[in-house]
Structures are given as structure tokens and as C-alpha cells.
Amino acid sequence: MKLAVNKIKRLTELGEETSGLLVKIIEEPLPKKWITTNNGNKFRELLKEIYLICPLLSDSFMEMYNYVQREKSTGSAYLKRLKHT
């Protein structure tokens, strides 16, 4: 897969923003109902834009998001370690 320089730059910016949102999602409390938070909505919007450039990266971010949400819902020790490092 060969990308133009401007797409690589935009993908880097989107990746950094998406990673930052993922950290915020880890730190926010689990909502009482299974609804997406503002950070979750922004995260998904960024994934759509990433998908247009690199679907594989978008899928990888979505896997991380789903993993974090699963860990949050179970109150796992892994997530507690993430919050305290």
C-alpha cells in the first residue's frame, strides 16, 4: 500500500488524535447505560476518516476500543493498572 505524502501526514494526525481519545475513554467512568460518550462519538468519527485512508488501521483502533470497553465493563485488574500508571 503506497500512500501520498499528504495522506501519510493526515493519517499521522488522525492517529495521534484517536490515541488521545482512547486514553480519555479509558479514564472516563463507565456510563450506567450502554451509550456512547462524547469521546466515543468523536472516536468513531475519526475512525471513519481513517478508514478512507487506511482501513486496516481503522480496524485496529476499533479492536482496541472494543477491548477497552469490555475491560471497563468487567472491572478488570488490567484496566485498573492502566489508570494508575
Residue-wise pLDDT tens digits, 5-38: 889 999 999 999 999 999 999 888 876 666 778 8
Rounded-to-integer distance, Cα 64 and Cα 44, Å = 12
Rounded-to-integer distance, Cα 25 and Cα 10, Å = 22
Residue-wise pLDDT tens digits, 26-85: 888 876 666 778 898 999 999 999 999 999 999 999 999 999 888 887 877 766 776 666
Cell numbers standing for residue 4: 501520498
Residue 61 CB contacts under 8 Å (≥ 6 apart), including other chains: 18, 22, 43, 47, 50
The most distant pair of C-alpha atoms in the chain lies apart, rounded to whole Å, by 44
Segments making up each domain of the chain, as ranges: 5-24+36-83
In contact, 57 and 8? CB cutoff 8 Å: no
